[in-house]
């Protein structure tokens, strides 16, 4: 029986996410055996520094890619938002699975259960490791203070519950759902309060770009709508040259053949911001493709089973929106945010 080795981070959430992908693959390919290989990444080891300060693009992916390169694993399951928009040569995202809830959620300290961010007492401290969340929420809720909190989900919840430092913490709703901790969600943040991170709520399967066998194997996992939304989001971020060290956020929706993309940039304290919405017509009906493309990758993603025209339209939408913001002065906001973040 052929064994397919699947790489993952060691955290409980990463294991749950990987197990869910492997379960689907097992059902699709009963003749194959799947073996999970768990490892720690730089981001898992450096826990005393804010993510945006570590200055490493592939914080949660480098060690896993190293194993992929050395042929120790055949595919790796990631949270898509951890994957940079430009992957190292030789790698590609071979599948993007159906997105779960992409929004952010607020988990409150037991003594504040029933509250919302709006009704928390003045100067309450809210924990988040994300500049994107802090910038947007500072603007929206000026009576609150935002402070970095690191560690995996279990660690962060323990820090919230056992110490009196934080009144609430902000986490991705999808992660809480996957862990079975929906009951802890006190508030879901909607786009008008806090737009989400590029790729949030979706899982990406990274493979060796030249490994056609594995690409074919995982390609069936692509969810067309999630794929096209995430191509647009990733193209927007890539064109802005955003990353962990600047506050960039998005919101996408697909309706009646139209893909809507809202994107925004913020200064670190949220006082300066800029956002716009654009839409594009996307045709997702299957079409006959003439021969393989030389470089089928778009923003690091390979999806030969989804119409190329639809993918290009989604990518173009992301680039157009980023260009619009850059023309209106977004570069200045991002440059200042980057410099301030580096200086702190």
Looking at the DSSP assignment, which residues form a beta bridge with residue 79? 203
Supply 200's token pair. 């949030």
Supply 23's token pair. 């379960």
Residues with Cβ within 8 Å of 104's Cβ and at least 6 positions away in sequence, in order, are 133, 170, 171, 172, 173, 188, 189, 194, 196, 200
How far is the CA of 5 from the CAs of 18, 38, 205, in angstroms? 11, 10, 13
Using DSSP's 3-state secondary structure scheme, residue 167 falls into coil
Q: Which of 48, 74, 82, 256 is catalytic?
A: 82
Using DSSP's 3-state secondary structure scheme, residue 245 falls into coil
- Residues 255 and 301 sit within 8 Å (Cβ to Cβ): no
- In the annotation, is 82 catalytic? yes
Closest CA to 234 of 80, 101, 88: 80
Q: How far apart are the first and last CA of the chain?
A: 54
Supply 260's token pair. 């809507």
- Residues 107 and 168 sit within 8 Å (Cβ to Cβ): yes
310-315's contacts with Cβ under 8 Å and 24+ in sequence apart are 310/224, 310/228, 310/282, 310/283, 310/284, 311/227, 311/228, 311/231, 313/259, 313/280, 313/281, 313/282, 313/283, 314/228, 314/229, 314/231, 314/232, 314/235, 314/259, 314/280, 314/282, 315/231, 315/232, 315/235
Helix axes 153-162, 12-28, angle to 10 degrees: 140
Q: Which residue has the tokens 């909607």?
A: 190
**Burial class of 145 by CB neighbour count within 10 A (0 to 12, 13 to 18, 19+):** middle
Task: In whole angstroms, give the CA distance from residue 330 to residue 180.
Answer: 39
Give the catalytic positions in this structure: 82
């Amino acid at each position: 029986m052929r064994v397919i080795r699947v790489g993952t981070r060691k955290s409980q959430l990463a294991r749950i996410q990987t197990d869910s992908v492997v379960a689907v693959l097992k059902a699709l390919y009963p003749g194959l055996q799947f073996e999970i290989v768990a490892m720690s990444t730089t981001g898992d080891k450096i826990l005393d520094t804010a993510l945006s300060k570590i200055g490493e693009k592939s914080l949660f992916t480098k060690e896993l890619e190293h194993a992929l390169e050395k042929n120790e694993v055949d595919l790796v399951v990631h949270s898509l938002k951890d994957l940079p928009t430009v992957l190292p040569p030789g790698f590609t995202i071979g599948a993007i699975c159906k997105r779960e809830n992409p929004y952010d959620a607020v988990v409150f300290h037991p003594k504040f259960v029933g509250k919302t961010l709006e009704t928390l007492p003045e100067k309450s401290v809210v924990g988040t490791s994300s500049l994107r969340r802090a910038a947007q929420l500072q603007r929206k809720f000026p009576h609150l203070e935002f402070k970095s909190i690191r560690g995996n989900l279990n660690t962060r919840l323990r820090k919230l519950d056992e110490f009196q430092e934080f009144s609430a913490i902000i986490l991705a709703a999808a992660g809480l759902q996957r862990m079975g901790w929906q009951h802890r969600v006190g508030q879901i943040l909607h786009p008008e309060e806090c737009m989400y991170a590029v790729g949030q709520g979706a899982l990406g399967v990274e493979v060796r770009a030249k490994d056609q066998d594995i690409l074919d194997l995982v390609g069936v996992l692509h969810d067309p709508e999630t794929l096209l939304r995430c191509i647009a989001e990733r193209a927007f971020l890539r064109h802005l040259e955003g990353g962990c060290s600047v506050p960039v956020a998005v919101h996408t929706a697909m309706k009646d053949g139209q893909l809507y993309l809202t994107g925004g940039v913020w200064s670190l304290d949220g006082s300066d911001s800029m956002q716009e919405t654009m839409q594009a017509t996307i045709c997702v009906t299957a079409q006959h493709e003439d021969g393989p493309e030389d470089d089928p990758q778009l923003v690091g993603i390979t999806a030969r089973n989804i119409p190329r025209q639809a993918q290009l339209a989604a990518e173009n939408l992301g680039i157009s929106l980023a260009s619009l913001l850059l023309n209106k002065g977004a570069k200045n906001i991002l440059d200042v945010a980057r410099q301030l973040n580096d200086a702190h």
